[in-house]
């Protein structure tokens, strides 16, 4: 297939491109800068210049493709406190490409998330896309992202082989600048590898290479309207993560008072408070996807997050 990939130069996109090319697909990657274009072309993909805000470029990219994988998200904006604005931009981009793909039977795989889908219990692929799901989200950004995921699933009724890949909050590996890197940075800045309460809140995780393979499988064979989970570790306690971070940074690991959470963790505070384990059993059975890369704790212990 000729596959249009947004976010092609990003953390997950940089793993998805070689995964697709190795399987025989041709990749066209969206690149918003000269540096991104070099990354995309260096990975063996054709470059389409533009940003997630260039809706006409996105429409053209989708229209000229046999399938779309949408990974682009304004993570720099989201990680600096503008999650809702990032989610709004993402919603507009998805709707623009969805309209082009309607009636074509082409695949459209969307990157979404699993954090907060079913706080306090193990979430499954059956969670998070119902009309009542917004109530569990600790903020407008997550609710908007969930609504976008529902839109993509509903494209199945409009002739799109759509799938939503709910990603664990930690898609880890060497070079990661996401949630784990942010927690490491907070610990360095505050002199404490912190957690809330007793630190028993659980976060699911997956290695970036396993996530990339899941996107390829979704593109190739996921049934229309699929909700998939990119989860390898079902739930790693935040305290366990903090203790590994503290050991590698030679800092204490300990609780942060609830009233100090926002000051300590910043934009991460409501997310660190979530107990949000998730199972990918249905995804593994549906697509024969088996994570084979190191788990989160093993990856943290390798030390690359602390160099």
The model's pLDDT over 92-115, given as tens digits with 9 standing for 90+, comes to 999 999 999 999 999 999 999 998
Q: Mean pLDDT across the stretch 254-274?
A: 95
Per-residue model confidence as pLDDT tens digits over 156-191: 999 999 999 999 999 999 999 889 999 999 999 999
Strands 202-207 and 233-237: antiparallel
Q: How many Cβ atoms from other residues are within 10 Å of residue 288's Cβ?
A: 9
Per-residue pLDDT, averaged over 238-247, amounts to 98
Q: Answer whether 244's CB lies under 8 Å from 195's CB.
A: no
* pLDDT, tens digit, 9 for 90 and up, residues 12-52: 999 999 999 999 999 999 999 999 999 999 999 999 999 99
pLDDT reported for residue 223: 98
Residue 237 in this model has a pLDDT that exceeds 60: yes
Q: What is the mean pLDDT of the chain?
A: 94
Contact call for residues 235 and 296 (beta carbons, < 8 A):
no
Contact 237, 199 (CB under 8 A): yes
Question: What CA–CA distance (Å, rounded) separates 72 from 30?
Answer: 9
Packed helices 208-221 and 13-22: angle between N→C axes, nearest 10 degrees: 50
Confidence band, pLDDT 50/70/90 cuts, at residue 77 = confident
Contact present, 172 and 299 (Cβ < 8 Å):
yes
Greatest C-alpha distance within the chain: 57
pLDDT mean over 51-75? 96
Whether residue 79 is predicted with pLDDT greater than 80 in this model: the reply is: no
Query: Which residue from 223, 289, 212 is spatially nearest to 27, judged by alpha carbons?
Result: 212
SS3 state at 29: strand
State the Cα–Cα distance between residues 253 and 247, nearest whole angstrom. 8
Neighbours of 46 (CB within 10 A): 14
- Whether 191 and 253 have beta carbons less than 8 Å apart is answered as no
| Pairing of β 107-113 and β 67-70 | parallel
pLDDT at 307 over 60: yes
Confidence of residue 130 (pLDDT cuts 50, 70, 90): low
The DSSP output letter for 120 is T
Percent of all residues in the chain with a pLDDT value above 90, rounded to a whole number: 85
Residue 135 has pLDDT above 50, yes or no: no
CA distance 260 to 188: 17
Average of per-residue pLDDT across 268-293: 96
Q: Give the torsion through C-alpha atoms of 13, 54, 2, 156, to 10 deg.
A: 90
What are residue 68's phi and psi, to 5 degrees? Answer: -130, 135
Judged against a pLDDT cut of 70, whether residue 137 lies above it is answered with no
| Whole-angstrom distance, CA of residue 173 vs CA of residue 220 | 25
Q: Which two tokens stand for residue 70?
A: 């949408």
């Amino acid at each position: 297939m000729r596959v249009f990939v947004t976010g092609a130069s990003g953390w997950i996109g940089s793993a998805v491109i070689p995964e697709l090319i190795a399987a025989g697909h041709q990749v066209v990657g969206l690149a918003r800068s000269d540096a991104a274009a070099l990354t995309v072309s260096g990975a063996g993909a054709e470059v389409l210049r533009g940003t997630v805000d260039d809706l006409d470029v996105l429409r053209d990219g989708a229209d000229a493709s046999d399938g779309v994988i949408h990974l682009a998200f304004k993570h720099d904006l989201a990680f600096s406190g503008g999650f809702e604005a990032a989610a709004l931009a993402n919603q507009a981009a998805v709707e623009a490409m969805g309209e082009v793909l309607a009636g074509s039977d082409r695949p459209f795989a969307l990157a979404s998330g699993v954090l907060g889908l079913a706080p306090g219990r193990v979430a499954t692929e059956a969670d998070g896309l119902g009309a009542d799901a917004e109530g569990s989200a600790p903020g407008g950004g997550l609710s908007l992202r969930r609504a976008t995921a529902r839109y993509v699933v509903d494209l199945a009724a409009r002739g799109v082989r759509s799938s939503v890949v709910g990603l664990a909050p930690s898609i880890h590996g060497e070079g990661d600048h996401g949630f784990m890197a942010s927690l490491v940075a907070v610990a360095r800045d505050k002199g404490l590898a912190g957690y809330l309460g007793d630190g028993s809140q659980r976060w699911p995780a997956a290695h970036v290479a396993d996530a990339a393979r899941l996107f390829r499988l979704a593109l190739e064979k996921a049934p229309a309207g699929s909700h998939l989970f990119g989860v390898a570790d079902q739930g790693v306690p935040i305290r366990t993560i903090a203790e590994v971070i503290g050991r590698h940074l030679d800092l204490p690991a300990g609780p942060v008072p609830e009233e100090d959470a926002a000051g300590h963790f910043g934009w991460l505070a409501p997310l660190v408070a979530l107990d949000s384990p998730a199972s990918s059993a249905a995804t593994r059975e549906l697509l024969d996807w088996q994570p084979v890369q190191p788990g989160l704790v093993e990856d943290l212990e390798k030390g690359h997050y602390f160099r």
